Structure 1
Amino acid sequence: MATSVSKRLHGKTILITGASSGIGRSTAFEFARNSPKELKLILTARRIDCLREIAAEIVKEIGAGIKVLPVQLDVSNPDDVRTLVGRLPAEFKEVDVLVNNAGLVRGVAKAPEILEEDINVMFATNVNGLINMTQAILPSMLKRNNGTGAGDIINIGSIAGREPYVGGGIYCATKAAVRSFTESMRKELVSTRIRVICIDPGQVETDFSVVRFYGDKEKANAVYTGCEPLTPEDIAETIVFASGRRENVVMADTLIFPNHQASATIMHRNFT
């Protein structure tokens, strides 16, 4: 028997950025498992080979009732984003749910020693990329329902956007920008039927820390020592839950911690 979530997602087109790993990858599988028929997934990331593998895995697990389109996309490249909709096949052009998941962190340097390259890549991806993706997809959402609009924009923020911490000045600034943009857009679209949703994870174990430490896995693993961090699946479940609510229900602002975490910097570690 179909669940209420399955019925509400039936026939929708979902676009996920940063879908080649971590939260994005898990979100693709979670949507597919919750609505295994007549769902269309657009998976975007820079690593097209990874996306093709994920697409094949989803179809193998779920079956032919779901259509998966891998699309190579670098959200930090404005031209790439600007031409995205035009490059999509006709049946995928009308996006119902945009999951702005792509994001990264580079380094732990404090001012004035922050590398310019790290500043630029974090803002280009986390802020500019998210805003440009939204502006590329939003016009078609606004045209639906005789101009009253329809669709979900789900932005993946972070506890870092609520609580800045030492060594995270630029990353925290980018996630604070995401939070402000999301809240402004929710107010701007209040007269429409477009839901604007922000999901802020706390500590999640993905390749996030590996990227932060420039590929040093030993340093990355130390971040999670003595902890049981959230998994990408935990966040994916929340994303699909938010999108699967009744149309009039907006999960506007969600903060998710693992049990050992109380803030960006307050965590209990068990070394026994």
Structure 2
Amino acid sequence: MDGMRAVVTGASSGIGAATVRGLRAAGWDVLAVARREDRLAALAAETGATTFVADVTSDADVAALRDHVARSGGAHALVNNAGGAKGLASVEESELDDWAWMFEVNVLGVKRVTSALLPLLRRGAQERGVADIVNVTSIAGHVAYVGGGGYNAAKFAAHALTEVLRLELNGEPIRVIEVAPGMVRTDEFALVRFGGDRARADAVYEGVPEPLVAEDIAGVIVDAVSKPPHVDLDLIVVKPVAQAAPYRLAKGPLAVRPADRS
């Protein structure tokens, strides 16, 4: 992928950092974007990616990101990965501030960055023959579950945004790809959701055989943007085998059921 450049948001940890590593290994130039400068610096030292400190909920930061991308080589792919969940309370009892934060980062952040970089991606498509917008959503944007309230609503909105964008860009050589992960064990997702409560965060994964890890999702993203230009993987749902739905998880070792001999 010589000369190809990707911009990855939410790159300081988890799926974002793993995606930066995966794209770099596949030969892409990568601009890693996140709020935490120290983590970006460590990722740059490890991978050779370049970095830009920005908060996707800030209009000024995203405008500065756009200008930086324009000055420093443009973009051929955008991975909108920044996102997160807060709380697992009911619709009745959950905090409006948590809902507002989830909409800002999971929906409006995607809109801000996409709007800002789309003119640059069009130029990238002329150079490469195709450009990619990859939105990392969640199975929570497709199936509701008790306690999911604000996160379900935000990710359903991100899914709708992605589908509308694909319709609007029809006829242009721009692929709009949605990657919807199920349970992924990362260092921070559940920890943020539960306000730093490590015991509660760890309990989410307790007994679940082999939840996904960030590298699993990164591999899917790298594969999707590496397809021939005419191939568009519109929606990719990725779950561990132990997860049938957001609310149905196998606990303990997976095993084949004995045959019914009746």
Establish whether TM, by shorter chain, passes 0.5: yes
Give the CA deviation at 1:78. Answer: 1.9
Letter in 2 for 1:12: M
Retained in 2: the 8 A contact 1:143–1:149?
A: no
The question of whether the paired residues in 1 share the 8 Å contact of 2:185 and 2:213 is answered with yes
**1:142-161 equivalent positions in 2, closer than 5 A:** 142-143=122-123, 150-161=130-141
Cα distance in 1 for partners of 2:177, 2:226 equals 12
Q: Take 2:124 and 2:213, find their aligned partners in 1: how far apart are those partners?
A: 35
Structure 1 stretches of 4+ moved >4 Å: 143-149
Which residue, out of 100, 116, 119, partners 1:139? 119
- The structural deviation recorded for 1:50 is 0.3
Question: Taking every aligned residue pair, what percent have the same amino acid on both sides?
Answer: 38
Normalised by the length of structure 1, the TM-score is 0.88
Query: Alpha carbons of 1:147 and 1:97: their partners in 2 closer, same or farther (altered >3 Å)?
Result: closer
Over the aligned positions, Cα root-mean-square deviation in angstroms equals 1.9
Q: 2:11 maps to which residue?
A: 19
Map of 1:107 onto structure 2: 87
Describe the superposition over 1:11-56 as per-residue Cα deviations: whole angstroms up to 9, x where unpaired: 1111000000000000001111111xxx321001110110010100
1:51 equivalent in structure 2: 40
* 1: CA distance, partners of 2:211 / 2:6: 27
Write the letter of the residue equivalent to 2:61: D
- Give the aligned partner of residue 63 of structure 2: 82
1:217 corresponds to: 198
Distance 1:146 1:237 in 2: 26
Instruction: Note the C-alpha offset of 1:258.
Output: 0.3
Which amino acid letter does the alignment assign opposite residue 90 of structure 1?
A: R
- Note the C-alpha offset of 1:110: 1.1
Partner of 1:128 in structure 2? 108
- 5 Å-filtered alignment, 1:1-272, equals 9-35=1-27, 39-59=28-48, 68-88=49-69, 90-92=71-73, 94-143=74-123, 150-206=130-186, 207-227=188-208, 228-270=210-252
Structure 1: runs of 5 or more not aligned:
1-8, 60-67
Q: Counterparts of 2:70 and 2:59 in 1: how far apart (Å)? A: 20
Task: Give unmatched runs, 5+ long, in structure 2.
Answer: 255-262
Aligned residue for 2:212, secondary structure, equals: coil
